Amino acid sequence: MAEAIEREIHELAGRLRAAANAWAAGDGSFDESDTARLRRRAISLCHRHYRAAIPAYRRLCLEAGVGDDEPLDVLAERCTVTDDLFKSYDAAWVGARDFVALSGWLQDLCAEPVPADASAAHDVDDWLDRLERGGLHVLYSSGTSGKLSFVPRGLGSWDAYRANGPSYLMHQVVRLGLDLSTMDGAVLGFRGGRMGIQRAGVELSRFLADVHYLYDRELRAETLRATLTTRSTAAAEAARARLGTGHDEAYRTFPATLRRATERGRAVWLFGAPHQVKMLCTVMQAIGSAPLGPGSVVTLGGGWKSFEDQRVDRAVLCELIHAALGVPPARVLEAYAMVELNTPLMRCPTGRYHVPPLLEPWLFDEALLPLEPGHDVTGTFGFMDPTATSYPAFLVTGDEVRLVREHCPCGLVSPAIVGEVRRAAGHEARGCGGILATVRA
Amino acid sequence: MTGANSRTRASAAALCERLDAAALLRDDGGTIRVPVLTRGRLVVPEGDAVLEIQEATIDRATMRPDGGRRRLVLPRVDAADLLYEDPGAVRARLAAVPFGALCDWLDAAAELLDTDGPLGSRIRALIAPASDLADSLLDAALRLNTTMMRALAVREVVDRELAIGGVPGSCLLEEWVEVDAPGWDGATGGLRAALAPPLGTIAPTPRIRAFPTLQIHVTAGNAPVVASASALRLLAARGGGVVKLPSGSILPGAALAVALHAAAEGQPAARAVLDALSLVYWKGGDTSLEERLFDPAVFDRVVVWGAPDAVERVSALAAGGIRTLTFNPRYGVSLIGREAFAADATLSATARLAAADVLIWNQRACIASLVHYVEGAPGADGAADRWAAALREALAAADDLAPAAPSATALGQIQRMRRGSLVGARWHWVGGPGREARAAVVVAPGPFDLSSHPLSRVVIVRGVPRLDEAVGLLHRGVSTAGIHPEARRLALRDAIAARGVSSIVPLGHAERAFAGMPHDGMRVLSDLVEWTVG
């Protein structure tokens, strides 16, 4: 029974990806009401699946009197979890290398069996490796506190994580006239690793001719944790030293990598957080680097996070990118993503982050009650992602947004986030942008 | 009613008539015009030079927002209104005010603010619609504000807190007091005697005096007594300066300003203190005002209460130039010994004692208990869960006596905890989960990040095999530890004090205070005067 439900969810997810493809194509083949019906069916099944298979979710349901068949608004009010769920373990377990406890915690919020072998791990990276060998892909993210969020994905959810974005983003690639196989990727992050922004680089490399990294080495979870949690300056310095090349040095040498790509006649797809791209542009202008080759694009992701003091308007940043990299504003893309989300939101040329039809968006008030969906509503962003079956993907974030439901001048029909995404007061800056800040500090 | 009382009642009534005539401190269709005090002058909001504060109104039966809004309109003040051209002259005038006159003035102001009188009841009626404190707690707060101002109370506090060598503090404020203490010469003593006999051999009698200072108090709105208490410290030290009212507690501060101003008419000898006093509001972080105000050539002390960002900002403004006293955010804890489980009745009675420490200003005071460490066997049926069940009952009973409900923001935070960081905890609700929540006791499986605590009658319970182990979890961030039973408190007192906890008290008595009591480990009045040798 449980397997049948999960199978149906992933079948529906496939149909939703097809619908998302039609939605992004803008060729009139997208059926909004049919897609909404599919999505809501998938969400209802996800709820039944989570309730049956995820102990923590089941407890929430029991306490809130939520049965198997409930309307979506009831699920939104009583069953949405927060991003803190994914770091609700006792940090002391990591320090004490108690991976029996950590695995037990993960099982509490995971629908997949947690590989028993993981309990014998000797550090966090080994634990993650063992989980992956056992079929459980765990990505992590971190806030400035240094406590890592772990999000587990079994095969079905992992496939969805890798397939959802391309199902609708490829149309944007086509519209921009990109031939990915002849482009170089440039990721302002670490090679590999399991942190969200690094993962984006890995995923990009599947499509691009070659990918270069600002830090050409893997970011290990243990190193990151040590860097973020240490209280002594000397220990922090030692932890940073283990990361290898210094931050400024990496920015000084990266333009040469980009120049070589241009000399080979390759356009570049540059990917980084806004503060990183700003820094790269500043360095390239200072040393008089040539712009990127024609046809290059820039994708911004991760927001400003702990670099709020460096924030500039998007228009100013685009001007800088144009001046330093030769990439015009129309080729500067931006995504809203998080490690708990299988389905990134891309910013359209009109400046809106469109919610793909794979997702059911919700806004919440300060009491964490869902707001009535409306034409133009401001609140805390949340979503139901029915392509994730391994963990409860009915989630309320810590981000304040304005969500409009209207026809966008860009041609897309979907709810869309308008304006800047701001971290709600009292919520720790998190995500990849924030984390690199601390590594640098 | 005595003659004095009836005269005060009459003058309070007359004051209310004057307030009515000026359309001040009354609700005119959802707008309340609020005066402030700048260097002894009552300033009213006029024209465009005003600030507005929006407040949500509360249903007094459920203590939840009723959807109503109202606005407070205050005059906008400029730093120039709060500074002194000749700070030395101001200090000299303050030093000349007889302490008795100061007390009489404060006593008269307290009489005007009496909660049963026309002004007191007017202010109470204005505060209540937007206060999230139950009637009983609100009334107690307003009574406390006036009681602390009574001459008897002020004198007790000053005499004890500023006392040196048996000399009451009021004497040290009033005059140069001879110090009966052994003295010694410095290295030049011998030279002086050799150079200038016989004068150089005579040792003068030392005297000291607690001299007035000019102060800035940046207060917090977590309780309606904070701004008044901070202002009273300034006044009791016979100082001058500025008290910044918090946006969440404007009206009690404005009432104090009006009462002090009115009472000064009959107390001319204390006038210099009023003339040096400002009770005002500006939006925290208003750099155009703050950067000019925090002038080390004018002010001697800064006192700052409140949230970490406010403390950090104000401390930075005063850094290096003005001596600063900070009342950082801290929290209280309770330690429950296994003796509490001797019998069901004992458990219930102990839990009710503990609930009292949770209720302090609905847990927003830094002495309120947020975490309970419970000694006993671990596990779902162990001591922690038995304690949580008993405490839940006690908090439910407290909700009947003094109802409270989390604000929307706190409710959101509770839900975030329930569905995030504390998903693995066992929750015991008062009022039910979800939007019906009124309080909660949470048995946490491990450490909890207190920075996300909603401060709304939510108690985190952690089981410990032995109370001694809880001691290791305490630190300077803990202001108060309430312990039960008494024998255990006495046994643990030194160890807990050594961890930096300021008050180690019997369970249920975290809020109890006494004249001359230290605050956050400091004798505050003593820091608000300039101990001068002369």
DSSP track, B291-347: HHH--TTT-SEEEEES-HHHHHHHHHHHTTTSEEEEE---EEEEEE-GGGGSSHHHH
Residues B417 and B493 in one domain: yes
Rounded Cα distance, B238 and B462, in Å: 46
| Helix ranges (DSSP H) in A29-114 | 32-53, 55-64, 72-78, 91-95, 99-108
- Kindly state whether residues B303 and B379 are assigned to the same domain: no
In angstroms, the Cα distances linking A105 to A55, A56, A119, B57, B423 are 10, 10, 11, 43, 10
For B411, nearest residue in chain A (alpha carbons): A367
Token pair belonging to A84: 């803190």
Q: What is the pLDDT of residue A434?
A: 32
What's the gap between Cα A13 and its chain centre? 18
Residue A85 to residue B420, Cβ atoms within 8 A: yes
CA dihedral sign of residues B249, B255, B261, B263 = negative
Give the CATH number, domain containing residue B131.
Answer: 3.40.605.10
Q: Which residue of B has its CA nearest to A78?
A: B434
Whether residue A368 and residue B412 make contact (CB cut-off 8 A), yes or no, is yes
Q: How far is B121 from chain A (nearest CA, A)?
A: 33
Query: Complex ipTM, two decimals?
Result: 0.86
Tell me whether residue B181 is in a domain. Answer: no
Residue A308 has pLDDT above 80, yes or no: no
Q: Are B350 and B484 in contact (CB under 8 A)?
A: yes
Contact call for residues A136 and A152 (beta carbons, < 8 A): yes
Distance from CA of B135 to the nearest CA of A (A): 24
Distance CA B42, CA B258 (A): 7
Is B337 found in the same domain as B245?
no
What is the pLDDT confidence band of residue B154, given thresholds at 50, 70 and 90?
Answer: very high
Q: Which chain B residues are within 8 Å of A60, Cβ to Cβ?
A: 418-419, 423
Same domain, B361 and B312: no
Q: What is the mean pLDDT of chain B?
A: 94
The reply to whether B248 and B397 lie within a common domain is no
pLDDT, tens only, B412-423: 999 999 999 999
Non-local CB neighbours of A75 within 8 Å, separated by 6+ positions: A43, A47, A66, A384, A394
B494 and B373 in one domain?
yes
Contact B419 A366 (CB under 8 A): no
Predicted confidence at residue A95, as pLDDT, reads: 87
Domain for residue B243, yes or no?
yes
Q: Is B195 part of any domain?
A: no
Q: What is the pLDDT of residue B33?
A: 98
Q: Are residues B280 and B252 in the same domain?
A: yes
pLDDT over 90 for what percent of chain A?
62
Chain B residue closest in CA terms to A105: B424
Q: What is the pLDDT of residue B479?
A: 95
Residues B423, A365: C-beta atoms closer than 8 Å: no
| Least confident interval from A141-155, A228-242, B100-114 | A228-242
Task: Give the per-residue pLDDT at A244.
Answer: 42
Chain B contact for A76 (CB, 8 A cutoff) = no
Which region among A249-253, B39-43, B360-364 has the lowest average model confidence (pLDDT)? A249-253
B424 interfacial to chain A (CB closer than 8 Å): yes
Q: Are residues B148 and B264 in the same domain?
A: yes
Last residue of a domain, one of B273, B292, B327: B327
In a domain, B364, yes or no: yes
- What is the token pair recorded at A358? 């794979």
The pLDDT value recorded for residue A306 is 65
The DSSP code for A374 is -
Distances (CA, A) of B443 to B81, B99, B379, B424: 52, 52, 10, 9
Both B20 and B127 in a single domain? yes
Number of domains comprising chain B = 2
> What are B124-149's pLDDT values in tens digits?
999 999 999 999 999 999 999 999 99
Nearest CA in chain B to A86: B420
CB B18 within 8 A of CB B261: no
Start-end of H helices in A264-313: 274-287
Name which of B64, B309, B416, B475 to mutate to probe chain A: the one with the most chain A Cβ atoms within 10 A of its Cβ.
B416
Give the dihedral sign, CA A31/A36/A37/A42. positive
Q: What is the pLDDT of residue B3?
A: 57
Q: What is the mean pLDDT of chain A?
A: 87
CA-based nearest residue in chain A for residue B410: A367
What confidence score (pLDDT) does residue A332 get?
A: 93
pLDDT band at B56 (very low <50, low <70, confident <90, very high): very high
Minimum-distance CB partner of A82 among B419, B427, B434: B419
A163-211: per-residue pLDDT in tens?
A: 999 999 888 888 889 898 899 999 888 876 777 656 766 777 778 888 8
Beta bridge partners of A353: A347, A417
Considering the domain architecture, whether residues B91 and B228 belong to the same structural domain is answered as yes
pLDDT-based confidence at residue A144 (cuts at 50, 70, 90): low
User: Between chains, do B409 and A63 touch, taking CB under 8 Å as contact?
Assistant: no
Are residues A78 and A368 in contact, defined by beta-carbon separation less than 8 angstroms? no
Answer yes or no: is B434 within a domain.
yes
Query: CB distance A367–B415 less than 8 Å?
Result: yes
Contacts of A368 in chain B (CB under 8 A): 411-412, 415-416
B408 shares contact with chain A (CB less than 8 Å): yes
Residue ending a domain, choose from B327, B352, B367: B327
Q: Using the beta-carbon criterion (under 8 Å), do B419 and A108 form an inter-chain contact? A: no
Could you tell me if A105 lies within 8 Å of chain B, comparing CB atoms?
yes
Q: Is the pLDDT of residue A407 over 50?
A: yes
Same domain, B299 and B425: no
User: Which range, of A90-99, A223-232, A416-425, averages the lowest pLDDT?
Assistant: A223-232
pLDDT at A432: 32
What is the H or E stretch that residue A188 is in?
Answer: strand A184-190
Quick one: B372 and B488 in the same domain?
A: yes
**Residue among B415, B427, B452 whose CB faces A368 most closely:** B415
pLDDT at A228: 63
Peptide bond into A115 cis (omega under 30): no
Please give, rounded to a whole number of angstroms, the shortest distance from the CA of B220 to a CA of chain A.
Answer: 18
What average pLDDT does the segment B15-29 reach? 97
Q: What is the mean pLDDT of residues B96-117?
A: 96
B449 vs A contacts (CB less than 8 Å):
145
Instruction: Return the higher-pLDDT residue of A441 and A260.
Output: A260
pLDDT tens-digit map of B300-359: 999 999 877 888 888 899 888 899 999 988 999 999 999 999 999 999 999 999 999 999
Nearest CA to A394 among A54, A17, A7? Answer: A54
Say how many residues make up chain A: 441
Residue B50 domain-assigned (yes or no)? no
Which residue has better confidence, A303 or B400?
A: B400
Q: Hey, is A143 helix, strand or coil? A: strand
Q: What is the mean pLDDT of residues B514-529?
A: 95
Question: What pLDDT digit, counting tens, does each position of A249-287 carry?
Answer: 888 889 999 999 999 999 999 988 898 999 999 999 999
C-alpha A304/C-alpha A66 separation (Å) is 38
**Do residue A85 and residue B419 have CB atoms under 8 angstroms apart?**
yes
Sign of the CA dihedral running B482, B487, B488, B491? positive
Question: B448 CA to chain A: closest CA distance, Å?
Answer: 8
Q: Tell whether B140 is covered by a domain.
A: yes
Task: Note which residues in 377-406 of chain A have CB less than 8 A from chain B.
Answer: 396
* Closest residue of chain B to A370, computed from CA coordinates: B412
In-domain check, residue B525: no
Last residue of a domain, one of B284, B304, B327: B327
Distance between CA atoms of residues A406 and A373, nearest Å: 12
Across the interface, which of B419, B435, B449 has its CB nearest the CB of A369? B435
Residue B113: give the domain boundaries: 3-27+34-44+78-155+212-327
pLDDT at residue A393, as a whole number: 98
* Structure confidence by residue, pLDDT tens digits, B251-283: 999 999 999 999 999 999 999 999 999 999 999
Q: For residue B197, is the peptide bond before it cis, meaning its omega torsion is within 30 degrees of 0?
A: no
Q: How far apart are CA A305 and CA A435, in angstroms?
A: 8
pLDDT, tens digit, 9 for 90 and up, residues A276-286 = 999 999 999 99
Q: How far is B447 from chain A (nearest CA, A)?
A: 7
For residues B360 and B367, the answer to whether their CB atoms sit within 8 Å is yes
Name the residue among B479, B422, B416, B409 with its Cα closest to residue B448: B422
CA of B434 vs chain A CAs: smallest distance (Å) = 7
Cβ-based contacts of B413 with chain A (< 8 Å): 426
B435 contacts A84? CB cut-off 8 A:
no
Residue A435 pLDDT grade (very low, low, confident, very high; cuts 50, 70, 90): very low
pLDDT of residue A428: 44
Q: pLDDT of A338-389, one tens digit each? A: 899 999 998 898 889 999 999 999 999 999 999 999 999 999 999 999 999 9
The CATH number covering residue B392 comes to 3.40.309.10
B477-508 tens-digit pLDDT: 999 999 999 999 999 999 999 999 999 999 99
How much is the pLDDT for A91?
87
Residue B532, chain A, CB below 8 Å: the answer is: no
Nearest residue on chain A to B419, alpha-carbon basis = A81
Give the pLDDT confidence of A210-247 residue by residue, as tens digits: 889 888 777 777 777 776 666 555 655 555 544 444 56
For residues B374 and B393, give the distance between their C-alpha atoms in angstroms, rounded to a whole number: 17
Mean pLDDT is lowest, of A185-189, A259-263, B72-76, B406-410, for: A185-189
SS3 A17: helix
| pLDDT value at residue A426 | 53
Non-local (6+) Cβ contacts of A33 within 8 A are: none
The string of pLDDT tens digits covering residues B422-463 is 999 999 999 999 889 999 999 998 888 888 899 999 999 999
pLDDT of residue A3: 85
Mean pLDDT over B85-110 rounds to 97
* Residue A424: per-residue pLDDT: 72
- The C-alpha of A200 sits at a distance from chain B's nearest C-alpha, in angstroms, of 26
Which range (A21-35, A95-109, B370-384) has the least confidence? B370-384
To the nearest whole percent, how much of chain B has pLDDT over 90?
Answer: 86
